[in-house]
């Protein structure tokens, strides 16, 4: 049994025939199998059949459904891995999958595994996307997939006939920093002009170019961030969704923050790469002022701007395919700058 991948707390090892007893214990647990396949537990014959398919596939493809162990205890906690849907390698889609013993639920292991598999997959496989699927009733797994950075793609017909919720993450949507482009302010100005022309002027208070592309000389993701202040989010919500759709913006309707509306242009699969973000906020929100204060402070303090740039370089390398963690890891630096700026 060889090590396939290690995370902070877990070890993934390739599957062998000697894993039969551990797999039978996992796959014969009704709680584990509730949302897998037809929801029934597996028999000895079914586990043997799985091994007869999984091991040759693993040897041929170099990926598969691995055995997962806790580093600290050495305990077997379940399975996780990457493999072609249904182990059918004549089609291109590779899925992220996991199943864990119940005693290890609630520890963040599924999210840790999914994030590590995404990173490994995009670094080692010639794929542009990775997919996953969850039963409509399996809310816990849906939350894991979202935390890992996958986006809901709608209801899909699975290879076994089930109707599942589909999820995907695209390599082209990774964190990529590029040198400052002098065209960014002009691009922002052009987009702001378009937005002013199509959005209802009676609700618009102000529009600002924010984010790193608004800071001269700053290494940045090549995405223009535009922040719009409105008099009332509820009053403009549906109008903004409908109007921005005509400019090819996609609304993030699952945003957990009720104080803003967030739109993306160019995000796969709707485009090749993100080009613009639009944040619609009421001016009383701290987000409105904080983005402007942070931008202006870095423009005025080049030494702090360089510190921020170095942090971003480090985090982009560490969290290339994890936008949520990349953003979260910048929070302390941003908060510290805001404290200095507000003194």
pLDDT digits (tens, 9 = 90+) for 17-39: 999 999 999 999 999 999 999 99
Chain length of the chain: 343
Planar angle of CA 271, 277, 280, nearest 5 degrees: 135
Question: What is the pTM assigned to this prediction?
Answer: 0.84
Percentage of the chain lying above the pLDDT 70 cut: 100
pLDDT of residue 199: 96
pLDDT of residue 269: 87
Percentage of the chain lying above the pLDDT 90 cut: 92
pLDDT of residue 256: 75
Category of 131 on φ-ψ map: left (φ > 0), alpha (ψ -120 to 50) or beta: beta
165 and 144 Cβ atoms separated by less than 8 Å: no
pLDDT surpassing 80 at residue 226: yes
pLDDT surpassing 80 at residue 255: no
316: exposed, middle or buried (Cβ count in 10 Å: 0-12, 13-18, 19+) = middle
User: What are the helix (H) ranges across the chain?
Assistant: 20-27, 30-33, 44-61, 109-124, 139-147, 184-198, 233-245, 286-300, 302-318, 323-329, 331-341
Q: How confident is the model at residue 258 (pLDDT cuts 50, 70, 90)?
A: confident
Average pLDDT over the chain, rounded to whole? 95
Q: How confident is the model at residue 247 (pLDDT cuts 50, 70, 90)?
A: very high
Q: How confident is the model at residue 125 (pLDDT cuts 50, 70, 90)?
A: very high
pLDDT of residue 254: 79
Can you tell me whether residue 267 is helix, strand or coil? coil
Q: How confident is the model at residue 343 (pLDDT cuts 50, 70, 90)?
A: confident
The DSSP annotation for 36-65 comes to STTSPPPPHHHHHHHHHHHHHHHHHHS--E
Alpha-carbon Rg for the chain, nearest whole angstrom, is: 23
The model's pLDDT over 261-318, given as tens digits with 9 standing for 90+, comes to 999 999 998 889 999 999 999 999 999 999 999 999 999 999 999 999 999 999 999 9
| Sheet with strand 204-210: strands edge to edge | 204-210, 224-230, 276-281, 260-265, 249-251
pLDDT of residue 257: 83
103: exposed, middle or buried (Cβ count in 10 Å: 0-12, 13-18, 19+) = exposed
Domains for the chain: give ranges and CATH numbers.
Answer: 3-172 (3.40.630.30), 184-341 (3.30.460.10)
């Amino acid at each position: 049994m060889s090590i396939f991948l290690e995370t902070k707390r877990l070890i993934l090892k390739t599957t062998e025939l000697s894993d039969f007893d551990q797999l039978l214990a996992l796959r014969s647990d009704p709680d584990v199998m509730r949302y897998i396949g037809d929801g029934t537990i597996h028999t000895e014959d079914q586990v043997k059949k799985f091994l007869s398919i999984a091991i040759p596939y693993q040897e041929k493809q170099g990926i598969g459904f691995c055995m997962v162990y806790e580093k600290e205890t050495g305990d077997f906690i379940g399975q996780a891995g990457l493999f072609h849907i249904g182990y059918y390698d004549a089609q291109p889609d590779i899925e992220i999958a996991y199943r864990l013993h119940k005693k290890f639920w609630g520890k963040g292991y599924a999210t840790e595994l999914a994030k590590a598999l995404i990173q490994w997959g995009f670094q080692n496989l010639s794929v542009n996307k990775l997919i996953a699927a969850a039963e409509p009733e399996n809310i816990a797994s849906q939350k894991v997939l979202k935390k890992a950075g996958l986006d809901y793609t709608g209801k899909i017909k699975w290879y076994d006939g089930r109707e599942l919720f589909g999820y995907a993450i695209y390599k082209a949507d990774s964190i990529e920093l590029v040198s400052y482009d002098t065209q960014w302010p002009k691009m922002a100005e052009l987009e702001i002009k378009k937005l002013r022309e199509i959005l209802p002027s009676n609700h618009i208070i102000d529009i600002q170019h924010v984010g790193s592309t608004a800071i001269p000389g700053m290494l940045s993701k090549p995405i223009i961030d535009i922040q719009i202040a409105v008099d009332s989010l509820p009053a403009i919500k549906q109008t903004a969704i409908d109007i921005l759709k005509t400019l090819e913006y996609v609304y993030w309707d699952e945003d957990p923050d009720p104080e803003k509306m967030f739109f993306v242009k160019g995000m796969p699969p709707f485009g090749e790469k993100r080009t613009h973000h639009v944040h619609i906020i009421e001016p009383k929100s701290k987000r409105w002022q904080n983005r402007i204060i942070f931008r202006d402070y870095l423009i005025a303090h080049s030494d702090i701007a360089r510190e921020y740039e170095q942090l971003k370089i480090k985090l982009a390398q560490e969290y290339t395919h994890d936008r949520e963690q990349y953003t979260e890891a910048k929070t302390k630096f941003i908060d510290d700058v805001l404290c200095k700026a507000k003194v």
